[in-house]
Structure 1
Amino acid sequence: MRTAPVFAVSAALVAGTTLGLAPTAHASGTAATGTTVRFVDIAGDGGTVLKANVVTPAGADGASRFPVIVLPTSWAVPQIEYLAQAQKLADSGYVVVSYNSRGFWQSGGEIETAGPKDVADASLVIDWALAHTPADPDKVGMAGVSYGAGISLLASAHDSRIKAVAALSGWADLIESIYSGRTQHLQAAAVLGGAGYLTGRPGPELRQILGDFLSSDLDKEDEMIAWGRTRSAATQLDRINANGAAIMLGNAWGDTIFPPNQYASFYEKLTGPKRLEFRPGDHATAEATGLLGLPNDTWTSAHRWFDHYLKGVDNGIDREQPVRLKPRSDGGYESYPDWKSVGADERKIALGGTQRIWANVDSGANGGLVFLSNILDQLVQAPPTASIPLLPRAFAGVWQSERYGTAQQVRGTAKLHTTVTSTKESGTLVAYLYDVGPLGLGKLVSNAPYTFHGQTPGKPFTVDLELFSTAYDVPAGHRLAVVVDTVDPLYIEHNPTGARLTFSSPAGDPSYVSVPLRAK
């Protein structure tokens, strides 16, 4: 839980800095550019007061109507979060209403974690904007980072007035985000829970779910999954597609709160206008400089998205290839017609032979620390590392490819297929893919956890696991290594004392990791 205060303080600092860099307002409430900024109270669901700010374009005389964008705040961040972006949008002719999500800071109510009340709040904020600002009812958009992204997507399923959405560093599937592979993402949940308690008022349902989740109460698993599904846009795809809003999704490759896989899967099932963008970084770091009012590629794309789908500007974004990626290297942006084209080629690494490992010991291979590790990768291309030759084989299974004569451009989702035999009925394994240099130092390319329950001790079973999607260039002369162990500080493990796991590769069903590669 030590990371939670760090997250909350960081969020507050970001918001505070945003306020400092946003254009200052005069005493009359008119910004230097002629736009006006007002701080207002909006009645949400059940009359709950939502603290909000409204930025109106210059020249709003009551006769003209402007597109409106509604911005719910991120988890644990005050309502000033989006002021810099709101000012930029207002300068280009938008009414912008940003509000503090219920249960946080000065807004009333309790934290619902994007529950029905949060979705109702979004529609009531739109109602307020249409009644109290020069907003055009036919040109309504929503956007947000993290929590605001999740609420925006869910609102687009329930409110057909929403014509365009920019959901940045958010989730479409809450279960696949923090409970992927049926493994609790410990640090992610601790950060969110801690920040919620520090800056808001978690409701009784959230307190119960968080307690059950962190305590590994398997008797409550079905209840936890049902709770998460009601808060997942992926379960409301039919409604979102029927409403037809133009959906832009943006995320970071190393997002340790909402990994990219679930966004990519959701994107593929959208039938309306859509766009998917991935960049290096961790949770919300791809958008951070934009919140400070600085140039930012993600926000630039979001503005272009709204300009086209709300204003009707012919800026060409609808004719561009809709999947846009920035690899975790010095390479520039790449564009693709769809997600399946990202890793069109494939190379398999055979997981031959039989390897047995003891559980309950961290081998030294791990995914790093929430936020810190992937921010370092974003800024200086320094992902978590491990010396592959020195990994203790009693606690880690290790397989390596040949050395590659040419650079390998890993793009998309690597997949593990193997046969496991456990001495216990429950257990957890974590799979890693490393880029290994000539001296044996491995740089983490991707990872993912997997937990099983109810297996018969001594009886083999099949494991199929998707690693977290990525875009990583392996230099010529390097090789890829697959490592599997049982302990990682990012995740809660379920390995009984004394458990052993055996990884085998039956002749009729060989084990492998398929690595997606960019087509030549």
Structure 2
Amino acid sequence: MALQALCGLVSALPAPLPAVAEPLWQAARDAETEMDHDHQNARITKFAKDHQYIADSMQNDPDLHALWMNGVAAVADSWQAERSATDTVSDETADASSKVVPGPIKAIAASTVHLLFETPEAFAWERAQASAMSVAQALKIGDLEYAGPLPVRWRHHSLPREEGVVLKLTAAIPDAPPPEGSDGYPVIVFPNAFSLTVFMFSFKQHEWATKGFIGVSYLSRGWYEAGGYPDMGGPLDMDDASAVIDMVEAHASEWGADPSALAFAGLSYSAGLAVLAAAHDARIKAVASLCGWGNLTNVVDPQGAPNRFYIEGIKLLADIGASRLPAEQIELLDISIHHARSREDWNRDAPRLMSYVDQRSIERFPKKLCRRGTPVFLALNADDGLLTSDAGLQTRQFLHGAGCRVFTMVDEGEHAFSAFPNLMIPSTMLTAFPVNEWLIKGMGYRQPLWQRTFDFFDTFLRGAHGRFEEEAPIQFQLRSSKTGVGMYFAEPTYLGFEEWPPRRSVVTPTAFAMTDSGGLIGSVEGVAHRQRAPGLCDTSIAFGTASGINPGVPILGTVLKTTGGVQSRTFLDKVNRTAAAIYRTPPLERGATICGLPNASLSVLPSRAGRPPHSPGDPPESLPRFQVHTVLFDIEEDGNSAKLLTSGVRNVWMPGVAGLNGGWAGPGTELTVGMHALCVEVPAGHAIGLGVDLFNVYYTPASTDPALRLGLSCDARSRLALPVVNSGDGAPQTHTLL
């Protein structure tokens, strides 16, 4: 036994450690007698073999290597002797052991021994996982404190694929017969997330198994010891997902599983795998995508602006995450980030890039997923810079229109921020610390995402009737206007919407006209606009990498905002007005709640300093390339300090020629820059501001030409559109999901 091995090595050390080891040894030996002796010889052999890898790592230290091997041999000899001895421990010995070893410790030792060796073919690290979870259950650590009454057993399997790829599966199974009258326990399958291991869902697997679900996680191709390359949701990943379902079906009788009630769930990378798998395999009856993607184009090239910061991060994570992306994927990512995008380059490379991302986008397969009425749960993060909330809401609309039953939850925070804390470090583990309240507030442990995900599966796999069906299908967390540690997560409140976009009686699209004096005036409806000829610009801004507008720091900025109340701010008196334009409303007489997708529509004309202006007869491609970065502000009462609310970036690479997302017809047409979703209160006395400049450091710009100029016209096409929540009758009420 691993526990006996540890105790044996400790007993060779000076006192007082042997005095501690002996009672644990006895407790482990007591537990060992409860095991089936028919398997002991196999376990002894397997133990020595599994621990050889540790010995191999000690080859450079002969003394340590010898000590370890001697300890392993001693344990194996001890087991063999016990195998030939009596099958039970005398009452006298058991009583003596109980006097020294507290009951809970003995129970933990027994469950540890049982789980470590219940599956002879399990790898050592897999047994360690099972052991850790058994200890967590015995101590009721974290979320397991709220777990159900069922005991849990673990099973580990290897699933060989082609060319040396071997998927690793670990299953948490209720260790009790399924309820009478049922067809078995429902099954939820979790692929691993990008650069993370098969263990990432262990707490949820175990917790949900105690409540009557079988949780199966698997290490997908390309990560760690699975072998191969990540397929990023391509056909190989889809075949693997179906093979995992085949294995579940093959073990259904042994596990007490009901394969007809099987779902997939994933986080980030694995969320994309989960939804795509549900489209490809009709055996998946429900799917939860937590911070996943819908259209992969929106990841690599949102609005024509390559997502340089996050794509370089993906490459880095792959390099350090026990995997490497294949050369084809690296080349395609580099094309999307760095390509010069001349007409010739684009015509050569775009079809290959488009084909790759299209094959891995759920929006290519809506009929497969939605003609069956598959329930889909989409969880998004409002400030997500990688898999953005605006793209996620577009996916929601796409699937809803195709016939899927879609339920959506939008939380505050960066990518996967509402899912990770309670997934990796369960909340009640912190209760022993004096600062637990600060930690729980600051780190967002009170987010209801996982409970709502569980309720989704409980509803659609077991037919449970509860709170999930009573709540609106779209839940949007309201960002508090207050500041301070953990204010965004201390008491999370939500607005519930029955449909998206919400009815005009609930959320009114409100458009503000831009003026040449830098104002945002009322609603466009009913406002008399001065009609200007196309191309007649009231303001011109120059390209610059330091306009004074703060775009926020990816990841870190959001973490500081949500955990510590530290806001990303722009001080308007420091903005370089040659490189940026600022528009603002007068101070609001009443507070406003903005919930949805803001956008700025601009009438623009690019040019180069020192060159003749564009003429109506000139070809569109003669216009210079440019990038537009828009920022929505909450301007405080001092009129100078402006909090970042949301932003958007759009590139125009070749006017008149559409790229992935960056086309623009040219002068005389509006250019719309979409911004990330938000749901925020702007207090009375504050103003709403819009900043426009030509550079965002986190997205590849279409041009870095210092001679670049962009004219902004104040004709009727230039406006800021905000989804303003009605405050009268019928307006959504704030509520909590906890």
Q: TM-score, normalised by structure 2?
A: 0.64
Bigger shift: residues 325-334 or 430-439: 325-334
Is it true that 1:115 corresponds to 2:234 in the alignment? yes
Is it true that 1:160 corresponds to 2:282 in the alignment? yes
Separation of aligned partners in 2, 1:448 and 1:348: 17
One of 476, 498, 505 as aligned partner of 1:337: 498
| TM superposition shift of 1:221 | 3.1
Separation of aligned partners in 1, 2:383 and 2:469: 27
Structure with greater proportional helix content: 2
Structure with greater proportional strand content: 1
- Structure number with higher relative contact order (C-alpha < 8 Å, ≥ 6 residues apart): 1
| TM superposition shift of 1:238 | 1.7
Separation of aligned partners in 2, 1:412 and 1:396: 25
Residues 1:116 and 1:391: Cα distance change in structure 2 (over 3 Å)? same
Is it true that 1:487 corresponds to 2:686 in the alignment? no
Pairing of 1:268-279 with structure 2 (within 5 A): 268-269=397-398, 270=400, 271-279=403-411
Q: Which residue is 2:510 aligned to?
A: 347
CA contact (8 A) 2:178 2:184 kept: no
Separation of aligned partners in 2, 1:348 and 1:239: 38
Bigger shift: residues 281-290 or 346-355: 346-355
| TM superposition shift of 1:149 | 0.6
How many residue pairs get aligned? The number is 496
Q: Which residue is 1:443 aligned to?
A: 643
Separation of aligned partners in 1, 2:189 and 2:359: 22
Detail structure 1 runs of 4+ shifted over 6 Å in the superposition.
61-64
Is it true that 1:230 corresponds to 2:381 in the alignment? no
Pairing of 1:97-496 with structure 2 (within 5 A): 97-132=216-251, 133-199=255-321, 200-218=323-341, 219=345, 220-269=349-398, 270=400, 271-291=403-423, 292-294=425-427, 296-329=447-480, 332-341=493-502, 344-353=507-516, 354-423=538-607, 424-439=623-638, 440-455=640-655, 459=667, 461-496=669-704
Q: Which residue is 1:8 aligned to?
A: none
| TM superposition shift of 1:274 | 2.1
Equivalent position SS for 1:317: helix
| TM superposition shift of 1:61 | 8.2
CA contact (8 A) 2:191 2:218 kept: yes
Once the two structures are superposed, residues 359-406 of structure 1 have per-residue CA deviations (whole angstroms, 9 ceiling, x without a partner) of 132312243222111122222343421012321110101111111011
Which residue identity lines up with residue 155 of structure 1 in the other structure? A
Structure 2 unaligned segments of length 5 or more: list them.
1-107, 116-129, 139-149, 428-445, 481-487, 517-537, 608-622, 657-664, 728-738
Q: Which residue is 1:15 aligned to?
A: none
Q: TM-score, normalised by structure 1?
A: 0.90
CA contact (8 A) 1:44 1:120 kept: no
CA contact (8 A) 1:368 1:490 kept: no
Separation of aligned partners in 2, 1:139 and 1:61: 13
Residues 1:141 and 1:243: Cα distance change in structure 2 (over 3 Å)? same
Equivalent position SS for 1:106: helix
| TM superposition shift of 1:60 | 4.7
Separation of aligned partners in 2, 1:401 and 1:368: 22
Percent of aligned positions with the same letter in both sequences?
Answer: 22
Structure 1 unaligned segments of length 5 or more: list them.
1-22
| TM superposition shift of 1:249 | 0.5
CA contact (8 A) 1:328 1:381 kept: no
| TM superposition shift of 1:83 | 0.2
Equivalent position SS for 1:103: coil
Separation of aligned partners in 2, 1:452 and 1:138: 49
Bigger shift: residues 291-300 or 254-263: 291-300
One of 96, 101, 114 as aligned partner of 1:28: 114
Output the aligned Cα RMSD: 2.3
Which residue identity lines up with residue 407 of structure 2 in the other structure? R
Bigger shift: residues 88-97 or 220-229: 220-229
CA contact (8 A) 1:50 1:107 kept: yes
Residues 1:230 and 1:362: Cα distance change in structure 2 (over 3 Å)? farther
Q: Which residue is 1:514 aligned to?
A: 721
| TM superposition shift of 1:512 | 0.5
Bigger shift: residues 476-485 or 327-336: 327-336
Separation of aligned partners in 1, 2:316 and 2:709: 34
Residues 1:515 and 1:418: Cα distance change in structure 2 (over 3 Å)? same
Q: Which residue is 1:13 aligned to?
A: none
Residues 1:500 and 1:134: Cα distance change in structure 2 (over 3 Å)? same
Which residue identity lines up with residue 510 of structure 2 in the other structure? R
Residues 1:28 and 1:255: Cα distance change in structure 2 (over 3 Å)? same
Separation of aligned partners in 1, 2:541 and 2:248: 60
Equivalent position SS for 1:517: strand
Once the two structures are superposed, residues 310-348 of structure 1 have per-residue CA deviations (whole angstroms, 9 ceiling, x without a partner) of 011111423421001111215612111012118721332
